[in-house]
Chains A and B, each alone.
Chain A
Amino acid sequence: MKAGSYAPTRYLPFGDSAVLIEFGDAISLELNRKVIALDEAILEAEVQGVEELVPTYRSLLVRYDPLKMTYEQLVFRIKEIEEKAAESTAKVGGRKITVPVVYGGEYGPDLSHVARYHGLIEEQVVKLHSGREYRVYMIGFVAGFPYLGAVPDDIATPRLETPRLKVPAGSVGIAEKQTGIYPCEAPGGWQIIGRTPLELFDMLRQPPALLEPGDIVKFEPVSEEEFKTIRESIPKGVHMSFSEE
């Protein structure tokens, strides 16, 4: 058993209408892969009585209709699906999505702090942040907010001591080893290093969130002019680069 991973998977009652399936108690790619694999397998199996699934870092919440099944029946059925999902070699989800970002300046007021904290220059922080692919571990905090991991240790930075009352929509931040994007203006303590012109959440869109757990995100540095051009073109849905892996 790897550190932080449970064997067997833990099935825990969550009130009378949900079961929480815990794969471990750590933030890790391996655990999150298991979460997403089971999420997809249950969705695919279209289990009668399953109402909705909430994948997070290391667990999957399954909300069900207690009029349609007992707790034991549900757990039995999901364990069957879990076994099959574990045997299958099918690759787990993961659309690749490019997110353009203007780094620094008024768009990323904490970029200089992050650089100083690590004894880097701002350009190095940008290069490190945009130089790797991130996995969407979960969506939470506010509608459409993706928790992405993990940033290189060289730029992992603690949250602000005093959170801001207002972080603008589109802000890209770092909190320890996580990076994330604010879909709407919200209070927050993440170190803001840039901003994307993309709409992370649009309630008139289906699905409403741009990103889903399991997606792969790549940040792409853009200029202020490009930011504005993209921003103006958003209603047409341009510049959201989706590609199946």
Chain B
Amino acid sequence: MKVFQVLKPGMLTTVQDTGRYHYLRYGVPISGAMDVFSLVVADVLVGNNRNDACVETTLIGPELQALRRTQIAITGGTASPKINGSSVPMWQTLEICEGDVVSFGRMESGCRSYLSIRGGINTSLVLGSRSTFVRGRFGGIEGRQLKTADTIEGFDAPLLEVEYLTPEELQSQFTGDYKVHVVLGPQAEMFTEKGISTFLSNPYKVTLEADRMGYRLEGPIIEHKKKADIVSDALLPGAVQVPRDGKPIVIMRDAQTTGGYPKIAVTITPDVSLLGQAKPNDTLEFSKITVQQAHEKTREYYKLLNNLGALLMRKS
């Protein structure tokens, strides 16, 4: 079922769901939404399953023309969305008619917005996911970013009778200064005490080398004890590795699955979503918590995701 035609593709617009799990051992990255939280809210606002595929935009959003009447929601980075040129609110269900044009303005805060479509986007499942892995050229629409004249297909679903709003406290704020909770390790002991305290007590700036694979950060040099190399081992999104030059790299969702730099710390799950909204020149401040504290926060986060349906407000 054709739902949208792409009039302008935007800077880097892809189809993403919550990720491609269970294939790390074969070298397949997890991919999926950089900001999973916003993707899930977008899905729930249109009555979709929490892992249904959405459109992920990057900084400059696309222009899409509706090919049928449907409902959508736009969440994530504040991108001044418009329908037929008139501003529309984010974080709520919106009904659109055939011929309507959805467009995006300047990304005022954050980096990526999510556009959900009632019923979910229909592309072929690749290894259990619809997420686009551009470097591997698979998933989403032909394994690539959207281009002009593409058609976005959706699943058939009756329109929701009730439309929803996201309460303000659940609408993420993307200030550009992010406090990121990490659990130290697995290889924190390869750094001096001074190195670890440098990492935890200074802001690090996201450089221009920041994409779906990861972010190189700029800031005070983190000191290794001796070696700055390990025998390559597994990586997960949120891991912070520090190569010989002492400048941290945050691993994100399209990164390769193994790496040879020691990992000083790993970001907790809810904060990986937040990191997904970071862009060049934003600052990150890392603070350490224990695994137990991390589990409390992460369980709360999952509880929130699982309860979203009940937390949304009805639009009157």
Contacts and interface: CB of A to CB of B under 8 A. Distances in A.
Given A54-B234, A140-B257, A203-B138, A16 B269 contact: yes
Q: Which 5 A-B pairs have the closest CB atoms?
A: A140-B258, A15-B266, A12-B186, A61-B234, A16-B294
26 contacts: A12-B187, A13-B185, A14-B239, A15-B238, A15-B266, A20-B185, A20-B233, A22-B233, A25-B230, A27-B231, A52-B21, A54-B25, A54-B258, A58-B231, A66-B294, A66-B302, A71-B291, A71-B295, A139-B257, A141-B256, A142-B27, A142-B256, A143-B23, A147-B232, A203-B126, A203-B138
Contact of B256 (A16, A67, A140): A140
B186 A52 contact: no
Contacts of B302: 66-67
- The secondary structure that dominates the B interface is mixed
B267 interface: yes
Contacts of B291: 13, 16, 71
Interface in B245-264: 256-258, 263
A12, A14, A213 — which one has the most chain B CB atoms within 10 A of its CB? A14
A160 to B, nearest CB: 18
Nearest to B238: A15
A53 interface: yes
Interface in B43-100: none
Interface residues of A, number: 44
A51 interface: yes
Interface string A211-232: 0110000000000000000000
A201 B133 CA distance: 15
- The secondary structure that dominates the A interface is loop
Interface in A139-172: 139-145, 147
Nearest to B28: A143
A142 B26 contact: no
Interface in A1-28: 12-18, 20, 22, 25-27
A59 interface: yes
B179 interface: no
B109 interface: no
A145 B232 CA distance: 14
B26 A17 contact: no
A141 B232 CA distance: 10
B23 to A, nearest CB: 7
